[in-house]
Every structure is written in C-alpha cells, then in structure tokens.
Structure 1
C-alpha cells in the first residue's frame, strides 16, 4: 500500500478539482495523480476508463494556462485487478500555471503543501514569475491577462505604425507562451503605474496650487503629462525694436526629454509613482529606479546608455519619440547652452532626479539690478549692440555669452538675444556644447 505525499495524490473518481492538483504539480516538483484510488490507498477502480481519460485531457487542454499539455501524460492501468487512470505531471517551464477562469492570482494558482493542494500566495506567484522570466520586469508575464489597448492603438495609428497581433509579438508585448507580458501591461488601458504632477506656490513644497494623477497606458500618460506641464510653461516677451521675441520659462525640448527619460528608464518593478513637481523657479522630475548597476552619473552625462527597459525603449524609438539611446541628457544640457543656469541631475540607489531651472525666473532675478535700458529701445540701439558684439568677437577671436554681458553691461537675456540674432543671421556661428560653447565670426558669409 502506498500513501499520498507531495508528489502523489489519490482521487476516488474524476471530479472537477483534479485540474487544481495538476496545476499544483506543474508549479512545484511534478507528481502523479491516481484516479480510482481511495484516500487510504485502497483501490476502488473507475467505471469508464476512456471517458475518464477524455475528461482529464480536456480539462488540461481547456482550463489550464499557459499550455501545459507537453508536461502531462494520461495512462490507464490495472491495480488489484481493477482499472484505474493515472496522470503523470512534470514540473513546467512556464510557471506559474493557473486556471484560465481565475487568472494569475491565489484563487487560480495552486501549489503542493505536503500532501495537500493549496492556493499559492502572492509572494510565491511573483517568485515563480521571476524564476521563469529572469530579472527583467518588462519580459515577465503580466499578472493581469485581461488587457485592452485602445489608447495605445490610437497612438500607434497617429504615428502611422502598425499595431496588430504580429507586431505585438515582435515588440514583446506577447511572450513565447502566448501570454501578455508586463510590457503589454505598461501600454494597456489597465496600467496602474502612475505619474503624479503637482504645482506649488513659490519654491517650496508648502502650498499646493494644483495637482493631477495620471494612470492608464504610458503613451496616454506621456501626452497628458506634457500638455499639463506646457500649461504652466509661461512665455516672457522681450522686444528688439519693433520685433517681439517670446521666451518660454523652460525649453520645450528639455521638458520633453526629461519626461521621456522618466518614463523609459523608470524601474516598474516598484509600484511608487513618478513625481513631477512644478515650482516658480524650477521643475523636478523624480523617477523610481537609480542608475543601472555598473553605470555612474558621469557616464550618463557623457551619453552612455544602458537600458533598464530595452523593449519599452525600442517601442518609443519606433514611434519616433526618441531618436537614439543615450542622447536625452545631452539634449537637455544643450537646451541650456545659452543660459547661465543649468539643469541639475541627482541620483541615489533607488531614484533619479532631473531639475530644470526656470530661465525667465533667473533672468528676471538678475535684471532687478539692471537698468531698464538693457532692453532694445530702438533699431539703432539694436544695430549698435550687434556691431559691438561682432567687434568684440573679431578682437578676441571667439566669445562666450558672459563676454557680451561684461563688455556691453547687459543682462543675460539681452546677451542671449543679441547672440541669437547674430547666429540666426549667419554673422556668427556656434561651436561646442554646454560649457565649451563659443561663438565665432562666420567668415564665409
């Protein structure tokens, strides 16, 4: 006589919960299920062997996901002169296996605990996913398999990129087991990862002026977050003679790159939201997930890129949201080439923060001690200053923005306008980036 244990189970007859035991065996160390044997190990037999075997194979094929049939074999035998059916189950390679009608949650995922079949804990389910999928969050099987992609499909359509089942497989939204991955979850309408935006009065987190929380497809969150920030990206007007020059608080390209960085490089294995805080003098983007192991902040500033979410980045690349990997931080810095204030990047083991300074706020601060005659008051004044800048450039060979400020006694914003006017007109040319940016006379014009 033999007894039940972790890899052996008896059933007097076929009952519906037999599939629970098969799922448990596949999720653990495998096992054998005997039908027609009493709990005490005595043989009872089955009345109709063929019908019992058919019911077992149908249950395995129709009720269990992912496909487990290659790990299950159903046989008939005779024990104590009585016909029985026994089912051998191997440990599966695509765990966790679960009941299709219940999903990947405790009531649908079973494991063996001694001689019993019990629902798996959430921690056990996550461990099985990690063991079979590796450490990559985006390629792991999504716990939610009831996903829709209405917003993502609209976004792909606007960008004229195909988004059918074939493309979903190519883009790794559907895994080799025909199940939705976490990457699919991130693009789905059901995505629970959030972006939280807040607007504060002044430069401290004391008084809220407005706030908003975004969820759903990351593509929808991207659009809504950019539009929200843009509403608070004010325009400051300066005049060069009769010409009006509009200057935004923040370079839109810098906002775009900081926002894309916070979405593409976030560690989605954490549930905490991405935080975007808008102050009077700056915008802060705080992303969960520090630098990828082995990469330093200096590496990032040089354009080195090691992707945490490679497949997500590839989708953003196909949608022409990012041009190349590792250029986002460089672009942000380039947007501030003509300004004294610069973006600031900070990182910890579990977080990444980009701070964009408000260029108009800092320009206004400096202008408080500058006579109002700094602004262009006439076309003649404008031409006089442009000629002075050109003369300065010829005498020094090349100049930087601070040279113009000191030589002409003008504010930062006025110096920027003068240099921009001269470069747009082809009189000067720019060479270098960020701290090494210099202006030279265009001798070919």
Structure 2
C-alpha cells in the first residue's frame, strides 16, 4: 500500500521528523490497538524524508527502553525504507499485554490512548479500567510485531514427531497464528526469535576468573538444544569403579540440566527482552537466573510439592508435544530429591523479579563418600520426614554406627543444606531444611 494514499487514523501516525513526542504515540498504540508510525512524512502523507536514519533508529530503540515502562521492546519493530532517493522510518507497534506509560510521568499522568488520529492522556478512571482489562491478556496469544517469520528449526523437530508445519491449520493448532497473523508464541519458535540466553563461565563463584561467554540465539527450541549440548560438552563425567563395575558419574546429570534450562525458558516472563542468564562455575556449580518471579498465587513450597501453574501454557504444551518435557510439575521436586539423596543442597531463590536456581557440582569425592553413607543418610532423612526431627543418639541407634561416624553423617547433611541443626548439647536435634 502506498503511504501517500493513506491518511492519519486510529492505526497510522505521520511525523515529519524525530522528537521526544514519538514515545507518547508508541505508548498510545501499545495501550489501544496495533499501529504504524511513519517518520519522514508530513500530515498529509507526503514523503519528505529524514537524514541519518540509522542514528535515529538507534535513538528510538534506546528511547523505548529508557522512556517507556514496562519494557515494550518486544512489541515494537523499527525499520528504514527508501523511496525516490528519500529515506524514512517505519515503527510498527503491536498491542501490548500491560499498561504502558512514560517513566518520568508515572502510570496516572504518563499513560496514553489512541482515539481516532490522536494520542491522548488517559484519565485516572480509564487507567483503573485498563488494569482490570489487561489482567486477562496473554503474551503468547498477542499478535507479534514481526510478521516476517520462518520456522526452519522447529519444522525439523515437528517432522520427527510426524507433524508437518505447512499442512492446513497446523500453525493455528499450535497457536503460532491467530486470524492469519503470527502470534508471540509463533515468534518464540521462529528463527527470528528476539529473546536470547546468555551464558558465562568462571573458575569459581567468586567470579574473579572469567573463562568464556556465549549468547544463544534463534528459535527458543534451538536455544534449548544448543545450551544443553554446550553444558554436556563442557562439564565432566567421572568413572567410579565399584565392585569391579565402572559407574559413570556426571557433574550434572543430564536430566537435571534439561529440567533446569527448560524450566527457565517455559516459566520466564516474556514481557521484557531481558535475557535469562546461566553462570557455570567450574569449581562450584551452576546458577540459572530466569526473568520473572513466581506466577499467580503459587508458592515455592507448592512447586516443590509437585503443583504447577504456567505463565506460558502453550509454550509448555509445544515442548511436551516434541517430547522435550517428560511430565508437568514434577521436575524441580525430582531434582531436589536427587540432590537430597546424595547429601547435596539444591537451592532456589525467589526474588521480586527473578527466579534463581543453584545446582551444586557433584565431584567424584562427593560420590565416593556418599556411596559409603548414602544408605544411612536415606534412613535418617526418612525418619525425620516421618517424625519431624532426630537427635544424634537416636540417629546412632537407628543406623547402628559409632558416635563419631554418626556425627560425621549428620554434620555432612547440615553442611550440604539438607538438615538444620537446632540447639546445643544433649538436646541438639536435626530437622529437614525447608
């Protein structure tokens, strides 16, 4: 469609040049309906052109990040065009899933709406109504700001499961499209997915000896697969000889790596372009930081009990369909149970805007020690789970070991965060560290 044949309306805005007012227009489209802003055109749709398009494009991109709250970059695409030797800028804005406003003015005075060909401030009452309305919006089913998508990587995975993405209604059934337009769930699985996953490698968790850095890009499925491959190739597997039989011991069992990476991808908040982060500490363990805290009313105890609620249910469903998810709700509980059984502490920190998982490194020495006392540890843990606590004297009688050996086992469980020690002297007791 020729721009010159169009007039400003509820979905089209013309600007002769760049000014700070552009963010008001972007916010109005985010809060109302999708729209397009053309910079380099007068109010009648006549091409004037702009100089330094690339500089202005970068300025707008940075301005969206610094001037608009919450992060709206995923819903905005900026491109340049050229006609009659004149350059212009096209800003395509998709409707967001939140209430967007100018940071410096705040939500009450900085929220704008599109009415006809004008962007106007929202009243306080309108803001309240938007809060109620937007609470039911989903990132996954919102229309993607990028409609030029390809699906080469996900197509191969679907073919392995006898699904042809190009067959009738398949994209719609996968929720990649709605009303013949690509959705954000389609964007995530496309080769043009803008979300990345950053990885850093250090010698220790003091971060004073940096070793490597990676940024994983592409389809969210490709990101998942390549992260797992990297971790498998850059962590060790030991050989433990036990009664003449070799046992392979992984620093991080593959099922745990898959669960933790998948959890960070499926449950993160995609309302912002902030990257998830994985820190691999060669001496200590792995830390995964996922943007977005717990979703809904679920608690950490609920999750570890096997309850599940998903911020991105379609994303989770597709990963299950291509057999990357074994079961819903059991993953983190299974990981914690695994580490508890070998006496190591698996940590989860729930922050206001992030979910942090910390995996301890399993060494050959850990396993050798744990193999000798693993049965005794299991007996003690099961006793405490049933009775609430245990004393050293009761533990000694329970596992039929010497005082020193029993104390060593209890101290090891405390050291690894499995148990907590309460009190002093003969009345000292041990409980599960919750």
TM range (shorter): 0.5 to 0.7
Q: Is the alpha carbon distance of 1:263 and 1:404 closer, same or farther for their aligned partners in structure 2, counting shifts above 3 Å?
A: farther
Contact 2:295 2:311 in 1 (8 A): yes
Equivalent residue in structure 2 for 1:349, among 352, 371, 393: 352
**Which of 333, 340, 343 is residue 340 of structure 1 equivalent to?**
343
Rounded to whole Å, the distance in 2 between the matches of 1:211 and 1:249 is: 20
Which residue is equivalent to 1:250? 252
The residue aligned with 1:143 is 145
Match of 1:41 in 2: none
Give yes or no for the alignment of 1:17 onto 2:19: no
Distance 1:362 1:342, change over 3 A: farther
* Cα pair distance change 1:308/1:362, threshold 3 Å: farther
Contact conserved, 1:133 with 1:140, CA < 8 A, in 2? Answer: no
Distance 1:285 1:361, change over 3 A: farther
Structure 2 distance, partners of 1:343, 1:239, is 26
Q: Which residue of 2 aligns with 1:228?
A: 230
Query: How many Å separate the matches in 2 of 1:155 and 1:405?
Result: 53
The two structures, once aligned, show a CA RMSD in angstroms of 4.5
1:155 pairs with one of 154, 157, 178:
157
* Counterpart for residue 95 of structure 1: 33
Match of 1:331 among 323, 331, 334: 334
Conserved 8 A contact 2:278-2:287? yes
In the TM superposition, residue 239 of structure 1 has moved relative to its aligned partner by: 1.6
Matching residue of 1:71: none
Q: Say whether residues 1:290 and 2:273 are aligned partners.
A: no
For 2:205 and 2:114, the matched residues in 1 are separated by 56
1:102-251 aligned at under 5 Å gives the runs 107=90, 135-164=137-166, 165-175=168-178, 177-251=179-253
Change (3 A) 1:406 1:333: farther
Q: In 2, are the aligned partners of 1:288 and 1:352 still within 8 Å (CA)? A: yes
> SS at the partner of 1:341?
coil
Alpha-carbon offset, residue 260 of structure 1: 0.7
**CA displacement, residues 347-388 of structure 1 (integer Å, 9 cap, x when unaligned):** 112100111111217718x96xx9xxx99xxxxxxxxx99x9
2:144 and 2:399 mapped to 1: Cα distance?
Answer: 57
Partner Cα distance (2:238, 2:349) in 1: 29
- Cα pair distance change 1:405/1:361, threshold 3 Å: farther
Question: Partner of 1:319 in structure 2?
Answer: 322
CA distance in 2 between counterparts of 1:158 and 1:16 reads 44
Distance apart, 1:344 and its partner CA: 0.7
> Shift of the alpha carbon at 1:149?
0.7
Please name the residue that 2:56 is paired with.
none
Q: Structure 2: how far apart are the matches of 1:406 and 1:250?
A: 33
Q: Aligned residues, how many? A: 302
CA deviation digits over 1:35-65, x for unaligned, max 9?
Answer: xxxxxxxxxxxxxxxxxxxxxxxxxxxxxxx
Q: 1:181-234 CA distances to partner (integer Å, 9 max, x unpaired)? A: 111111111112111111111232121111211011010011100011112221
How many Å separate the matches in 1 of 2:117 and 2:152? 43
Q: TM-score, normalised by structure 2?
A: 0.59
| TM-score normalised according to structure 1 size | 0.58
Choose the corresponding residue for 1:264, options 238, 263, 266.
266
Deviations 1:150-209 (A, max 9, x none): 11111222333332351110111101x211011111111111211111111123212111
Contact 1:249 1:359 in 2 (8 A): yes
Query: 1: distance between equivalents of 2:227 and 2:315?
Result: 18
1:122-162, Cα deviation, whole Å (9 max, x unpaired): xxxxxx9x989953111111111101111111122233333
Distance in structure 2 (CA, Å) of the matches to 1:172 and 1:114: 30
Give the secondary structure class of the aligned counterpart of 2:137: coil
Distance 1:172 1:247 in 2: 41
Distance 1:112 1:270 in 2: 21
Structure 1: give runs of 5+ residues left out of the alignment.
Answer: 1-14, 29-90, 119-127, 376-384, 416-434, 437-445
CA distance in 2, matches of 1:143, 1:156: 24
Query: Which stretch of the first structure deviates more once superposed, 253-262 or 319-328?
Result: 319-328
- How far apart, CA to CA, are the structure 2 residues paired with 1:400 and 1:243? 31
Taking the aligned partners of 1:259 and 1:138, their CA distance within structure 2 comes to 19
**Tell me, what secondary structure is at the counterpart of 1:270?**
coil
Deviation per CA, 1:53-83, whole angstroms, max 9, x where unpaired?
xxxxxxxxxxxxxxxxxxxxxxxxxxxxxxx
Distance 1:226 1:266 in 2: 18
State the shift of 1:318 in Å.
Answer: 1.0
Question: Is the CA contact (8 Å cut-off) linking 1:27 and 1:97 kept in structure 2?
Answer: yes
